[in-house]
Amino acid sequence: MRVVIIGSGPAGLTAALTLRDKSFTGRIDIFSAEEVPPYSPAALGEYLINDQENLLYWQGQDVCEQYDFNCFLGEKVVKVEPDEQYILTEAGRRREFDKLLIASGSSLHIPPVVKGADKEGITNFKNIYGAQKIKEMANASGSTSAVIVGGGFLGVEIALCLAKIGIEPSVLNRRGWIMPRLLDKETAAYIVEDLEKQGVNVMLNTEGNRFIGDEEVEGLITSDGRELTADFYIAATGVKPNIDFIIDSGIENDGWGIPVNRYLQTNYDNIYACGDVAQTEDLLTREMTIHGLHTVAVSHGQTAALNILGAEQKYERQFSMNSLKELSYKLMVVGELEGEEIKYKKEGVLRKIYLKDNKINGFVLLGDISNAGLYFSLLRKREDISEYKEQLLSPLFNLGMKITKYKR
């Protein structure tokens, strides 16, 4: 059996490793548009702060040789022919497959409303090249400031990392609070306070309208007419799945993702998709969603590999889950923050649980993440908590009280 994997990120590499772990000795071809060995984008922050390449190249830089993968690094796939069962690269290489896994990840997406985003000197934090460029610029003599367009999770993460290495970043966010897709206003206010203590300038209700300069960026004009200048400029305006090469291939897609079934199959039984390109059914909303998380990508890769080998393994439905490592206190945001809210609050601590039909629909833990594992289990199992919902956030509530079946 000939297996072709498009993408060498956590999803694609995990699939390849799982195939070998299950004693598959056939041909495994891995194609990557990037010229570097397989790495984990989730470790870019640690790489920027601590230069920890061992975390970045999480399976070693010689993983292709070690596991006998045919790794075609720097060869971007530009075409897939699902009926004739071959892929074509930008370099003109044609490779036939019996099973194909699309795990091509995602890239920075800058909306058209931000003008001049094609100028030299604007970087991103979505791939290793952007991280290396930021690292070089941050280490350059006299580089002390940065402007980050985008106050979502990615923009805040970049700002925290830059602050750790002595750069003073300004974050622009068009909404009245940061990370609006993840946080409510109250929780976001806590985060802004901590960001400012760490040297991050947060500019709310402010959009980046236009990068100025000739070929090289020289400044940014904001929505209120101000001109911001800095030593370097970073776009953190969102991501888009890398699926341009299959848009008109016959593989079902909506331009922003590839819907898959519980076995991670596309509308072609022998073609799978996982990671940042795969739309799977969300456990809570039941909508087809892309969960752009490292843990999800790894789980996808394992499941896809087993099914390539004929296991008929169903993928366990997921839900949104995020945390920020570089804050002064711990933060965990899980699920959907909708429904009846119960709250516990004291200095430095904010804990919220959201309920729908007496089931946990989501939760925010800031400063104190005790019982996170329990809440996570209750959410996933869709457990009715009506008997003890008033005690859920109590400091005395623990695994030995009402639900001993969730013992650690």
Residue 320 belongs to a domain: no
Q: What is the mean pLDDT of the chain?
A: 91
Mean pLDDT, range 318-336, rounded to an integer: 87
- The pLDDT tens digits of the residues spanning 272-318 come to 999 999 999 998 888 999 998 899 999 999 999 999 999 999 998 88
- Residue 52 CA, chain-centre distance (Å), reads 19
Q: Count how many domains the chain has.
A: 3
Instruction: Note the pLDDT of residue 134.
Output: 84
Instruction: Note the pLDDT of residue 271.
Output: 99
Q: Hey, what are 78's tokens?
A: 């530009």
Instruction: Note the pLDDT of residue 401.
Output: 56
* 229 has pLDDT over 50: yes
**Amino acid at position 110, single letter:** I
* 92 has pLDDT over 50: yes
295 and 191 share one domain: no
- Domain residues for the domain of 369 are 329-406
Measure the CA–CA gap between 81 and 102, rounded to whole angstroms.
Answer: 13
Measure the CA–CA gap between 258 and 88, rounded to whole angstroms.
Answer: 19
* 175 has pLDDT over 80: yes
Question: Residue 162 maps to which CATH number?
Answer: 3.50.50.60
277 and 346 share one domain: no
Instruction: Note the pLDDT of residue 404.
Output: 45
pLDDT band for position 149 (cuts 50, 70, 90): very high
CB 43 within 8 A of CB 52: yes
CB 274 within 8 A of CB 297: yes
Given 210, 235, 260, which residue is the final one in a domain?
Answer: 235
Better-scored residue on pLDDT, 150 or 140: 150
Instruction: Note the pLDDT of residue 408.
Output: 37
Measure the CA–CA gap between 202 and 194, rounded to whole angstroms.
Answer: 11
Residue 321 belongs to a domain: no
CB 126 within 8 A of CB 41: yes
Instruction: Note the pLDDT of residue 146.
Output: 93
Q: Is the pTM of this model over 0.85?
A: yes
Handedness of CA 326, 327, 328, 332 (dihedral sign): negative
126 and 231 share one domain: yes
Tell me the longest C-alpha to C-alpha distance in the chain.
66
pLDDT band for position 388 (cuts 50, 70, 90): confident
- Compute CA distances 297 → 15, 290, 361, whole Å: 10, 10, 23
Q: Report the percent of the chain where pLDDT is more than 90.
A: 66
Instruction: Note the pLDDT of residue 405.
Output: 43
Q: Hey, what are 146's tokens?
A: 């940065």
152 and 188 share one domain: yes
Measure the CA–CA gap between 251 and 83, rounded to whole angstroms.
Answer: 10
Give me the residue label for tokens 């400031």.
145
pLDDT band for position 130 (cuts 50, 70, 90): confident
130 and 212 share one domain: yes
* 398 has pLDDT over 60: yes
Better-scored residue on pLDDT, 128 or 67: 67
Measure the CA–CA gap between 157 and 155, rounded to whole angstroms.
Answer: 5
Given 308, 341, 364, which residue is the final one in a domain?
Answer: 308
Measure the CA–CA gap between 400 and 152, rounded to whole angstroms.
Answer: 38
Instruction: Note the pLDDT of residue 197.
Output: 94
* 8 has pLDDT over 50: yes
98 and 27 share one domain: yes
Question: What contacts 243, CB < 8 A, 6 or more positions away?
Answer: 102, 104, 253, 255, 257, 258, 277
10 and 100 share one domain: yes
Helix 128-139 to helix 153-164 angle, to the nearest 10 degrees? 30
Better-scored residue on pLDDT, 327 or 26: 26
pLDDT band for position 407 (cuts 50, 70, 90): very low
Better-scored residue on pLDDT, 133 or 61: 61
pLDDT band for position 402 (cuts 50, 70, 90): low
pLDDT band for position 243 (cuts 50, 70, 90): very high
Give me the residue label for tokens 């002390």.
144
